[in-house]
Every structure is written in C-alpha cells, then in structure tokens.
Amino acid sequence: MNGFLLSTLIWLPIVGGIAVMLVGGHRPAMARGVALLVTMVTFLWSLPLFFSFDTTTAVMQFVESRPWVETFNIRYYLGVDGFSAPLILLTSFFGPLVVIAGWRSITKNVNQYMAAFLVMEGLMIGVFSTLDGLLFYIFFEAMLIPMFLVIGIWGGPRRVYATLKFFLYTFLGSVFMLIGLIYLYIQSGSWNILDWHTMPLSLVAQKWLFLGFLAAFSVKIPMFPVHTWLPDAHVEAPTGGSVILAAIMLKIGGYGFIRFSLPITPDASAVLDWLVIALSLIAVVYIGFVALAQQDMKKLIAYSSISHMGFVTLGLFVAFSIYRNTGGVAGAALGVEGAMVQMISHGFISGALFLTVGVLYDRVHSRMIKDYGGVANTMPWFALFAVFFLMANSGLPGTSGFVGEFMVILSSFQANFWFAFLAALTLILGAAYSLWLAKRVIFGAVANRQVENLQDINSREALVLGILAVAILFFGLWPQPLVEMLQVSVDHLLQHIVQSKVM
C-alpha cells in the first residue's frame, strides 16, 4: 500500500471531514466519534513514515507522481525526505489530540468544527508532502480557509479583527511567493520543486525570488517584524485552533525556508543571510522582553512561540557564516538539525501549553493572568503538568525544548560569538517569562472564589496532557531517533547550498 500512503494521509482526513460534516449538527456525539476514528486511523496510517523510512538516503521516498494538468506540466507529485516526514508525523500525531481536547469544550456546531480540523489536517499533510510547486501553493492557501473559519466562528469576541488580520497578512505574503513560483515555471517549464533545486539562476533573479519566499515564509513562521498577527490570532482562536496554529502551521514557514529558499536560491541566501540572522536574534531577545510584559496567558505563549521560532531561522541560516569562516560545513549541520528539532519540539510544547491554558479557560472563562493565583491548591495534577510544560518551554535539559536550542547555540557559536551570546540570552529570558507565569498563576495562595472552586483535570484532559508530556520527555532524553531521520537530508542540503547556482 506504500504506493498510496501519502495520498491516503492527505485525502482520508479530508474525505473524513466531509463525512463528519454530513453527520449533521444534531448528532454531536457521532460527529466526535467519527472525527476521532478518522484522526486515529490517519495517525496509525502515518506510522510507516517512521518505521519504513530509509534513513540512509536523501532521495525522496514514498513517491507518487502522475500528470495532473498536462498543458502546464503540473503534476500530482508527492514524496517525503528527512525534513517533511517528521513534520507529517507531527501533524497526524496532533489530529486525535485536538479532537479529544475539543470533546466537551465545543458545543456549538460540533460537526462543522470537527470537519474543519479534519480538512485542515489533510491540507497540512498535503503542504508537507507535495513536490509540485503549484500543488504546494494550492495546499498552502487552501489551509487558510478552515483556520479562518475556526477562528471566525468558534473564536473570542475580537475574532473578526483577528481573522482578517491573519488572513490578509498570510495571503499578502504568499502572493509574492506565487509570483516567484510562476517565474520559476516560466524559466524551467516545470513545476517540479526538485528541478528548481538544480536549475541555474542568476544572482539577481535569486535575490528577487529569495525576497518573495521570505515574504511568504517570514509571515508564516512568523518572524519579526511581521509577527503581530500571531498574538491576536491566538488570543481569539479556540483552544484547538491555537494548538494547530502553534504546533503545525508555524512550522510550514520553517519548512518553506528548507524546501524553497535555501535550495532554490542558495547564492541569494548566502548574500542575504545577515538579514535573516538579524531578524532571528531580534526575535529571540526583543520578543523575549515583550513576552515578559504580557498579561494575557495566550498572548504570552504566542510571543514565546515567536521567540522560539527565532531559533529555527537562526539555525537554518548560520551555515553560510560557518562556511565563510572555515571553508567547510562542519558544525553547520548542528544548526539545521537543531532548527528541525526545535520545530518538532516546539510543536509538542506550544501545543501542550495552549491546551493547558484551554483547561483553565474552560473552567474560569478568562485568559488573564490576574484572574488566577494558587491554582496548585485546587488542581495539583494540573499544576504538575503546567509546571512541567513551562519548564520545557524554558529549555530545561531532559525535555525536548532543550535539544533544539542547545544545537542551534552550539552551531551559532561556530559562526560568530555574538550570535551565540544573544541567542543564549533565551536561557534567562525564557525562564523569566515562563516561570513568572507559573508563579502568578499556579503558585501562591488561592486568589479568589473561582480558583477555590476549580476542579482538577479529568481523565480525558490528563490523557491529552500526559501523551504530550511523554513525547516531550522522550525526545529530551533520547533525540537520536529524530536526529537520525534528519541526518542524511541535512547533509545533502548543506552540500547543495554551498555550491553556487549562478551560471
């Protein structure tokens, strides 16, 4: 069945989503059940991407390719390598979790809610697995629609502002990418991304393409200064929306840099790496300070996400400095692998944190820090999870949050002392905003009547948080399985990007 594996992963949730939609709004229990079944099957179906994945080659695996629109040479072309396979696994892993997390807290139009998430899951897997430029663009844009609906319908009071901001921001960015993609098609006569990787391009063309891609992916990941849509979107989104947004959607930006910017425009990346690095370091330090000042828990986590994504872009682009310094790429792979590890790990941790806030929000209906205090008194098990996730967020060794940051800091030290110096400030800033949050919300004396009446997490919530805690601990104590998947693809990418494509 390997011949259709990726197609199944894309279309099973989408078809399942339509099925859930057809269940109708009057049978919420059945909608939930079907949604859970579909996401579970999708997850199990995705496991061969790990167990049958060949870690010794950078060649695309699980390939499917057939013509789609022959006139324009557009193909339905799917395949995965060490970069996309872990991200697809992450996506399918979160499917059931999001369904379970919304089990009770969503009461309005349950079938539509679940359907939106299922369709979104399929589209996101599509983004990660497609190797055709136009198909990528279609998935990339189509994915916005269900998220737009999720925030717009099940969101908070300012959801209209947030959805418009979210949509326009990301749409504007991707329009520039579309121009780039069309240019690449005209030049090469092909939509095959892998063809674009090897196609020679002048430096000027590369620079324009690089900026086009940067516009799309910097908004998506998001980078300073085009990040301001994220806190608003998170604040208004329902818990499940925030989880998918933070855990998966942001990673599409990082994935875009890996799949498009670096291999298609390596010379421009080498010339303009200072820009990305500067913006990344600003994200780590400046956003770290901004996070410290937040009064809304979700906003705080949103800013923390931006700061953590700074490590992804930093890790991806330090390679060029190392190459200039040493003439080789030794040490650069740590950065790229660190960026990937950081993306996966941040998926778990930010997802867990948004779920944690969701647990409190379901009970108290407030996201403001000042409405809490002393939650540990009434919710001891919840407090255990919350403190653990916050510690992971501050990069505690033994949790996955440490691994990626550690690798990127080690790598950037090889590039430039100051990169490492500024990046390592996250050790202090990350701990400051994460643990200050813990102090104000979790610890302390019982702050008010509502906190006094809180019920500890039930077994459904404990299950979701527990699964994430195990994942975070597992990759913190033994990142080798993940790193092994990446290794060959990263080496291949690095060999590729240090060779000039300028004719």
Partner 1 sequence: MSLQTTLLLIPLLPLAGAIVAGIFRNQVGRAGSHVVTILGVAISFGLSAWVLYQQVSGTLDSVNISVYTWMVADGIRFQVGFLVDHLTTLMMCVVTFVSLMVHIYTIGYMREDPGYQRFFSYIALFTFSMLMLVMSNNFLQLFFGWEAVGLVSYLLIGFWFNKETAIAANLKAFLVNRVGDFGFLLGIAAVLLTFGTLDYAEVFGRANEVVGQTLSVPGGMEWDMLTFICVCLFIGAMGKSAQAPLHVWLPDSMEGPTPISALIHAATMVTAGIFMVARMSPLFEMSDVALSFVMLIGAVTALSMGLIGIVQNDVKRVIAYSTLSQLGYMTVALGVSAYSAAIFHLMTHAFFKALLFLGAGSVIIALHHQQDMRYMGGLRKYMPVTWITAWVGTLALVGFPFFAGFYSKDAIIEAVGASHRWGSGFAYFAVVIGVLITAIYSFRLLYLTFHGPEKFTVDKDCGEHPPPGQLAHDPEESPLVVTVPLVLLAIPSVFIGWLTIEPVLFGGWLNDSIVVLEKNNVLAELGEHFHGATAMAQHAIYTLPFWLMITGLIAATLIYLIRPSVADAIARRLPFLYRLLDHKYYFDELYLKVFARGGVRLGRSLWHRADAGFIDDGIVNGAARLTKWLAALVRRWQTGFLYDYAFAMIIGLIGILAVWVAMVPGL
Interface residues with partner 1 (CB under 8 A) are 165, 169, 225, 228-229, 286, 289-294, 330-334, 337-338, 374, 376-377, 387, 391, 396-398, 402-403, 406-407, 409-410, 413-414, 416-418, 420-421, 424-425, 427-428, 431-432, 435-436, 439, 442-446, 477-480, 483-484, 487
Looking at the Cβ atoms of 445 and 503, the one nearer to partner 1 is: 445
* Exposed e or buried b per residue across 175-187, where buried means at least 16 C-beta atoms within 10 angstroms of its C-beta: ebbbebbeebbee
Q: Take residue 442 and report the two structure tokens written for it.
A: 């979790």
Instruction: State in angstroms the smallest separation of the CB of 255 from partner 1.
Output: 19
Instruction: State in angstroms the smallest separation of the CB of 483 from partner 1.
Output: 5
Instruction: State in angstroms the smallest separation of the CB of 64 from partner 1.
Output: 31
Instruction: State in angstroms the smallest separation of the CB of 29 from partner 1.
Output: 32
Looking at the Cβ atoms of 4 and 274, the one nearer to partner 1 is: 274
Looking at the Cβ atoms of 36 and 410, the one nearer to partner 1 is: 410
Looking at the Cβ atoms of 31 and 429, the one nearer to partner 1 is: 429
* Exposed e or buried b per residue across 263-291, where buried means at least 16 C-beta atoms within 10 angstroms of its C-beta: bbbbbbbbebbebbbebbbbbbbbbbebb
DSSP string across 178-203 = HHHHHHHHHHHS--BHHHHHH----H
Instruction: State in angstroms the smallest separation of the CB of 161 from partner 1.
Output: 10
Looking at the Cβ atoms of 247 and 396, the one nearer to partner 1 is: 396
Q: 419: closest CA among 339, 322, 305, 354?
A: 322
Instruction: State in angstroms the smallest separation of the CB of 289 from partner 1.
Output: 4
Looking at the Cβ atoms of 98 and 423, the one nearer to partner 1 is: 423
Distance CA 99, CA 337 (A): 30
Looking at the Cβ atoms of 92 and 414, the one nearer to partner 1 is: 414
Instruction: State in angstroms the smallest separation of the CB of 25 from partner 1.
Output: 34
Instruction: State in angstroms the smallest separation of the CB of 450 from partner 1.
Output: 17
Q: CA-CA distances (angstroms) from residue 392 to 14, 57, 387?
A: 33, 32, 8
Residue/partner pairs of 33-37 with CB below 8 Å, 24 or more apart: 34/114, 35/99, 35/114, 35/115, 35/117, 35/118, 36/96, 36/99, 36/100
225: preceding bond cis by omega (within 30 degrees): yes
Instruction: State in angstroms the smallest separation of the CB of 18 from partner 1.
Output: 35
Looking at the Cβ atoms of 64 and 273, the one nearer to partner 1 is: 273
Looking at the Cβ atoms of 88 and 442, the one nearer to partner 1 is: 442
Looking at the Cβ atoms of 480 and 500, the one nearer to partner 1 is: 480
What φ, ψ does residue 455 adopt, rounded to 5°? -100, 140
Alpha helices for 24-158 (secondary structure H): 28-46, 48-51, 84-101, 110-129, 133-142, 144-154
Distance CA 345, CA 93 (A): 13
Q: How many helices (H) and strands (E) does the chain have?
A: 25, 2
Q: Take residue 294 and report the two structure tokens written for it.
A: 């937040």
- 268, 209 Cβ separation under 8 angstroms: yes
Instruction: State in angstroms the smallest separation of the CB of 393 from partner 1.
Output: 13
